[in-house]
Structure 1
Amino acid sequence: MLSRTADHLFWMARYTERAENTARMLDANYQLALVPQSDEYAALGWRAMLSISELAGIYAAAHPSMTSRDVIAFMASDRDNLSSIINCLRAARENARAVRGSITTELWETINTTWLDGQRMLADGVLERDPCEFFEWVKFRSHLSRGVQLGTMVRDEAFYFMRLGTFLERADNTARILDVKCEMLEQRAGALAQPLAQSLDYYHWAAVLRSVSGFEVYRKVYRDVIVPERVANLLILFANWPRSLAANLDELRQIITHVRNARSAPVQALIEQLHADVRAAQIGDILRGGLHLWLTDFLARINELGSCISRDFLVPLAPEEPALADTQPLPPASAQSQSQSQSQSSGQPHAA
């Protein structure tokens, strides 16, 4: 397969998954904002989400205050925010259009309809009327896209490059969603009285679980009250649940065997080492060493893995790009602009 074709398929899947996970983070924070609390404390959640998404500076430059309405609009519908949901849906659609012949008609129509309907919903004012409706719709369309992919695509290299993008992005975003909570805990230290902090803790961990469709899974697995250690264990180490870090690394480890080539030994080594480290980890050791520090290291390693995959399989990042560039996406170039630079035509994310 041509590296440019693989590149488009990879980023098509990543942008679809990224739109879903942004919707999940927004939905969790929106639900938390409904819990009785001070305006200052409510702003902590939005600030933490922007910080962990590396968008705090961009948001501050355009918005003088931190309100739920402004943050939701910025993260969901702002055309100037290259990480917004609508821009991710557009990027997914443009990457799919560039490789129209490599995907099935059903998958193309699903992705294209998602982009068209998303624009219509935002124009109809869904964010002002009921943000949760839009977030649920984004999640549903992402699920539908993956279902059509699984149900109609041949298990060839095209299929596996899409899966590679999906699970790499999901691992990154599951870690970020959990890290949002850690960021909030650090920011609220000393800001609230201890009894109030404890009373809010349950709602925050429940929101974290719901943001990754893990609330019912937690109840089924642990059959007990929500405890932070168990939430972290579920999201990081519980390999039988498809959104955990361990499960995503299991998938990445298997997929790389289907697409490996003569240059992919370093990528395989990175995946094997990261997989082994997570599989050998104990939640007690992670918490004693600091959950935020562990997640920060994991995110750095996932970003390094993404850069190595781009180098060895896809259209590589431009030499001047920083190693962690794939935390900030730019819309991909259309099929007609493939004569532009490599970084533009591949639809890869860039630092802001």
Structure 2
Amino acid sequence: MLSRVANSLYWMVRYIERADNLARLIEVNEQMILDLGRVDPQGFRALWRPIILATGDQELFDETYPNATQREAIHFLTEDRNNPNSIVSCIASARENARMVRDQLAEELWEELNGLYLFLNSEESSRILAGDPSGYYEMIRRSTFTFHGIAAATTMRSEAWDFMDLARHLERADKTTRFLDITTYLEDSKDVAVTADEHWLAILRSCGGVGAFRSQYRGRFSPRNITEFLVFSEKFPRSVRFCVNRLDASLHAISGNPVGTFGDDAERASGQLLSALAFGSCDDAMAEGLHGYLDGLQGRLNDIADAIFRTYVLLPEQIDERPSIPASSISSVVKWQMQQQQQ
């Protein structure tokens, strides 16, 4: 497979997954605020700012909205095209990547993604967001579910599928750590108007894990149990460990190397992280400090993403064989890709 095709498939799915996760988080947060019915303006800011901090876009947000309210926070996360990680921007980026490899996709898959893009850029979208925000975010989530379902039903189990599956689970693992990290930002806030238990339950809802959690822990909600479930569960599809296991399997399917071995930096990094999760425990995370532990996981996931780019897109071993390519051109490629990753 051409590296540019692999790169486009990879980023198409990462952006779709990013939009889905953000829609989940915003919808749950809005519902929590509505249920409270007692949050003052300072409380609103306290509940939205941790989400923006967790996405890593706080600097851009502060520059754009120095005196932000809930409305500006929702606009920034949802519709702001100057925010490269807003839902609308993510779907636009996913569609652009899909357009470049349209011949590799089933017609139904393109139609679903293009339909979502057209909806988000229509007047009807703005009207629904203003009048029925819960329905708006539910529509986005259902469309992304449909996208993944069509992809699973129509994509041949070839390298194309492996890059798409790899991207989905890498992005999902990253977002799960960021969802959990929101609780550490909330602990530092003086204006939080809800209890810690309500926040932890909201995080679990954002990951769609309430039912699965109850079946395993018999409803014993606690920070430790929720952290163990979302980080170390071997069976829950959105846990960090489950996602890293899947992305490690996809990397080995692409390279053809046996699972448990490594032939490149990406496989080595994913194998090391998978081992750390398989043999680690929630006690280790709590002893280190949850924020520091989650920050370390995010850094290691970013390292895997960088290694994937170097191995399958930049292809440094081929660049070495072509001395005629100036170094400045290679630097431009790296700079462009880092902007794409938005790390």
**TM above 0.5, one fold?**
yes
Residue 119 of structure 1, CA deviation? 1.8
2:282 corresponds in structure 1 to 283
Match of 2:244 among 249, 253, 272: 249
Q: Secondary structure of the equivalent of 1:37?
A: coil
Q: Secondary structure of the equivalent of 1:59?
A: helix
Q: Is the 8 A contact 1:19 1:88 kept in 2?
A: yes
The one-letter code sitting in structure 2 at the alignment partner of 1:291 is L
In the aligned structure 1, how far is the partner of 2:18 from the partner of 2:139?
14
Q: Is the 8 A contact 1:75 1:84 kept in 2?
A: yes
Q: Secondary structure of the equivalent of 1:235?
A: helix
Match of 2:219 among 221, 224, 242: 224
1:293 corresponds in structure 2 to 292
Q: Is the 8 A contact 1:77 1:122 kept in 2?
A: no
In the aligned structure 2, how far is the partner of 1:18 from the partner of 1:183?
21
The one-letter code sitting in structure 1 at the alignment partner of 2:244 is L
Q: Is the 8 A contact 2:125 2:136 kept in 1?
A: no
2:80 corresponds in structure 1 to 78
- Where do residues 1-352 of structure 1 align in structure 2 (5 Å cutoff)? 1-34=1-34, 35=36, 36-120=38-122, 123-188=125-190, 200-260=195-255, 264-315=263-314, 342=333, 349=340, 351=342
1:330 corresponds in structure 2 to none
In the aligned structure 2, how far is the partner of 1:62 from the partner of 1:28?
24
In the aligned structure 1, how far is the partner of 2:14 from the partner of 2:315?
16
> Taking structure 1 as reference, are residues 255 and 295 closer, same or farther at Cα in structure 2, changes over 3 Å only?
same
> Taking structure 1 as reference, are residues 218 and 261 closer, same or farther at Cα in structure 2, changes over 3 Å only?
closer
Residue 122 of structure 1, CA deviation? 5.7
Residue 29 of structure 1, CA deviation? 2.0
Identical columns (%): 30
The one-letter code sitting in structure 2 at the alignment partner of 1:54 is G
Q: Is the 8 A contact 2:10 2:166 kept in 1?
A: yes
The one-letter code sitting in structure 2 at the alignment partner of 1:9 is L
In the aligned structure 2, how far is the partner of 1:239 from the partner of 1:185?
28
1:328 corresponds in structure 2 to none
Identify which range, 211-220 or 33-42, moves more after superposition: 33-42
1:338 corresponds in structure 2 to none
TM-score (norm 1): 0.85
Q: Secondary structure of the equivalent of 1:82?
A: coil
In the aligned structure 1, how far is the partner of 2:58 from the partner of 2:32?
19
Q: Is the 8 A contact 2:264 2:311 kept in 1?
A: no
In the aligned structure 2, how far is the partner of 1:309 from the partner of 1:275?
16
Return the structure number with greater relative CO, CA threshold 8 A, min gap 6: 1
Residue 20 of structure 1, CA deviation? 0.6
Q: Is the 8 A contact 1:77 1:86 kept in 2?
A: yes
Q: Is the 8 A contact 2:81 2:88 kept in 1?
A: yes
> Taking structure 1 as reference, are residues 179 and 119 closer, same or farther at Cα in structure 2, changes over 3 Å only?
same
The one-letter code sitting in structure 1 at the alignment partner of 2:189 is Q
1:335 corresponds in structure 2 to none
Residue 65 of structure 1, CA deviation? 2.3
Residue 28 of structure 1, CA deviation? 2.4
Q: Which runs of 5+ in 1 are unaligned?
A: 318-340
Identify which range, 256-265 or 58-67, moves more after superposition: 256-265
Residue 261 of structure 1, CA deviation? 6.9
2:329 corresponds in structure 1 to none
After superposition, give the CA deviation of every residue in 1:141-183 in whole Å (9 maximum; x if it has no partner): 1111110010011000011111111111001101001101111
Q: Is the 8 A contact 1:235 1:243 kept in 2?
A: yes
In the aligned structure 2, how far is the partner of 1:79 from the partner of 1:206?
31
In the aligned structure 2, how far is the partner of 1:97 from the partner of 1:315?
21
Residue 304 of structure 1, CA deviation? 0.9
Residue 223 of structure 1, CA deviation? 1.2
Q: Which runs of 5+ in 2 are unaligned?
A: 317-331
C-alpha RMSD of matched pairs (Å): 2.3
Q: Is the 8 A contact 1:91 1:347 kept in 2?
A: no
In the aligned structure 1, how far is the partner of 2:338 from the partner of 2:29?
29
**Pairs aligned (count):** 322
Q: Secondary structure of the equivalent of 1:314?
A: helix
